[in-house]
Amino acid sequence: MHRREPLGGAEFAPETTYLNSAASGLLPRRSADAVRAALEESASYGTMGRDYFAAATASRAAFARLLDVPAERVALGSSVAVQSAFVAASLPAGAEVLVPEGDFSSLVNPLAVHPGVKLRTVPLEALADEVRPGTALVAFSAVQSLDGRIADMAAVRDAAKAHGARTYLDITQAAGWLPLRVADFDFVTAGAYKWLLCPRGVTFMAFGQDLGRDGQWPNARHAGWVAGEDIGESNYGPILPATTARRYDEPHAHYSYIGAEQSLGLLAELGVETVHAHNTALAEQYRAGLAERGLLPRPAPGSAIVSTPGIADAEHRLAEAGVRVSVRGGLLRTAFHLYNSTDDVDRLLSLLG
């Protein structure tokens, strides 16, 4: 068996065996250092620092490069739920929204509670086949939070296009480890505090190439001063929204985006393809070890997330031993990322055994 050492070198030195990136990622040392420096700066220059927009602008560009989309089609936010509410508000009255059963609540609930939306749920595997002429929007996660299943994104995209439906893709559990092609989706959201290794409060939304054409963007209902075309002239009264996706920016959490710039820079240095190969190899080693013990995880081919029934009660014992995992829906969920190693897999299996 090929032994794998952590990626990232001295950027990570956790006191725990951390296998919980599907819940929250570890912050690289460079990101933590940058946030600490920004906090010190705030003692003399205020909580917006000396340049409130520099790190946010750099983070927007870094995220855009990661997904190979234009930076002018990326907006900055704070949570997936807020962005889902924006997408819901862009729909016509009576719109049918198609979502997978059991997808993450921050994606689904703002759509479900929006007046006039008719939410229809189907099994993930049937999502593409269930798109129909009356479907206005298909919303789904690229990777399921509960068990790591990877959606057939191309099939859903093509089915939606054939029926004239828009698409809303949540890549929170995918961005940072799974190579993605997202330019043909209408709305793409990413909570960046998991696999993208950013502080909480960093969320991005990318807009597809057809949205905003000829200036026909969806209504920027939550636009404030940071969304103005001329920010210096957007402090009082109604504003003129930016001509790019910046019209959907929220006033960003300054310290969070200070860290995000550094975290996204690390991922760019390593490369998503490299991280993908590393993570999935560790996950496969873990699956093989579970099989040797007569344990069968939920099927999720090619995923860095492994969720296993029947052993959820091991979480407390693992935590006492310094191994961080999580339990979701009665499944023991483990997630393998760039800072993990073969030794982490061996330790987990030994404790489970």
How far apart CA 309 and CA 333 sit, in angstroms, is 9
For strands 135-141 and 166-170, give the pairing.
Answer: parallel
Q: Do 100 and 241 lie in a common domain?
A: yes
Q: Do 278 and 262 lie in a common domain?
A: no
Q: Do 218 and 282 lie in a common domain?
A: no
What pLDDT is attached to residue 187?
97
Question: Which token pair is 286?
Answer: 């873990």
Residues, the chain, total?
353
**What are the backbone angles phi and psi of residue 277, rounded to the nearest 5°?**
-60, -40
In three state form, how does the secondary structure of the chain look?
Answer: CCCCCCCCHHHCCCCCEECECCCCCCCCHHHHHHHHHHHHHHHHHCCCCCCCCHHHHHHHHHHHHHHCCCHHHEEEECCHHHHHHHHHHCCCCCCEEEEECCCCHHHHHHHHCCCCCEEEEECHHHHHHHCCCCEEEEEEECECCCCCCECCHHHHHHHHHHHCCEEEEECCCCCCCCCCCCCCCCEEEEECCCCCCCCCCCEEEEECCCCCHHHCCCCCCCCCHHHECCHHHCCCCCCCECCCHHHHCCCCCHHHHHHHHHHHHHHHHHCHHHHHHHHHHHHHHHHHHHHHCCCCCCCCCCCCEEEEECCHHHHHHHHHCCEECEEECCEEEEECCCCCCHHHHHHHHHHHC
Q: Do 298 and 197 lie in a common domain?
A: no
* Domain endpoint, select from 242, 268, 294: 268
Q: Do 182 and 317 lie in a common domain?
A: no
For residue 301, the domain's CATH number is 3.90.1150.10
What pLDDT is attached to residue 1?
63
What pLDDT is attached to residue 215?
67
Q: Do 216 and 295 lie in a common domain?
A: no
Residue 39 lies in domain: 33-268
Instruction: Give, for all 353 residues of the chain, the pLDDT tens digit.
Output: 688 999 999 999 999 999 999 999 999 999 999 999 999 999 999 999 999 999 999 999 999 999 999 999 999 999 999 999 999 999 999 999 999 999 999 999 999 999 989 999 999 999 999 999 999 999 999 999 999 999 999 999 999 999 999 999 999 999 999 999 999 999 999 999 999 999 999 999 999 988 867 668 898 889 999 999 999 999 999 999 999 999 999 999 999 999 999 999 999 999 999 999 999 999 999 999 999 999 999 999 999 999 999 999 999 999 999 999 999 999 999 999 999 999 999 999 999 98
What pLDDT is attached to residue 29?
98
* Domain endpoint, select from 268, 293, 315: 268
Q: Do 48 and 197 lie in a common domain?
A: yes
For residue 57, the domain's CATH number is 3.40.640.10
What pLDDT is attached to residue 87?
97
What pLDDT is attached to residue 258?
98
Q: Do 137 and 284 lie in a common domain?
A: no
Query: Contact, 173 vs 141, CB < 8 A?
Result: yes
The total of structural domains in the chain comes to: 2
How far apart CA 49 and CA 32 sit, in angstroms, is 16
pTM, whole model, 2 decimals? 0.96
